A and B are shown apart, each in its own frame.
Chain A
Amino acid sequence: AQSVTQLDSHVSVSEGTPVLLRCNYSSSYSPSLFWYVQHPNKGLQLLLKYTSAATLVKGINGFEAEFKKSETSFHLTKPSAHMSDAAEYFCVVSERWGAQKLVFGQGTRLTINP
């Protein structure tokens, strides 16, 4: 069975400083991994995805994540936070093959201080 643990329920950073949102996963098979973002009263938007190509994945809005199989981690980073980054972030795992079924982490709420 697959599972995802987001290590921080809430992260607060100042505008212009780096962002780190931590995610560990568990999967019996070669996983696909995603980060989604949810702004208030909005649907989920894909930030980036890992599907077995390069381990360093670049996404939209300056975000990137590194897949580390030995550590079963897929942390999300951004060099410089912007006020518009304030949102809820979800780390997600899916089986590479077979039916679509996303397993979500509990989410990390990112707050940006001016």
Chain B
Amino acid sequence: KAGVTQTPRYLIKTRGQQVTLSCSPISGHRSVSWYQQTPGQGLQFLFEYFSETQRNKGNFPGRFSGRQFSNSRSEMNVSTLELGDSALYLCASSTLSGGGDEQFFGPGTRLTVL
């Protein structure tokens, strides 16, 4: 069974631009979560989607948004990029709808904002 895939793997953008990252979960997984990893703040939860609905959101500004499609694929969008948005963005999927379930992580998208 294929793992979680994320595209693109690397991105370079300039301040003020917007970016869209994509995540394809493991087949059959309906929950998709997004995390931001930076050296200073560590790993932080962005949001989680289940059956096309955002169920939970972390403490990030409204410039960070996401959506999930009927096939469970998910995208996250960051508008008006800032230098501090440079990070590794990780997507994770899981099978069940409840908390405490194992999450399977993709390799991440490394975003560099210049």
Contact = CB atoms under 8 A, between A and B. Distances in A.
Interface of A: 31-32, 34, 36, 42-46, 49, 51, 90, 94-107
B61 interface: no
Contact of A100 (B48, B90, B106): B48
Contacts, number: 73
Contacts of A96: 98-100
B42 interface: yes
A99 B100 contact: no
Nearest to B31: A100
A94 B96 CA distance: 14
A70 B56 CA distance: 30
Given A100-B48, A100-B56, A107 B42 contact: yes
Interface of B: 4, 31, 33, 35, 42-45, 48, 50, 55-56, 58, 90, 92, 94, 98-108
Contacts of A32: 99-101
A107 B41 CA distance: 11
A107 B40 CA distance: 11
Contacts of A105: 42
Nearest to A31: B100
Given A43-B106, A43-B108, A102 B98 contact: no
Given A90-B43, A103-B45, A107-B42, A97 B90 contact: no
B102 A98 contact: no
Contact of B33 (A49, A102, A107): A102
Given A32-B100, A104-B43, A107-B42, A99 B56 contact: yes
B43 A97 contact: no
B102 A97 contact: no
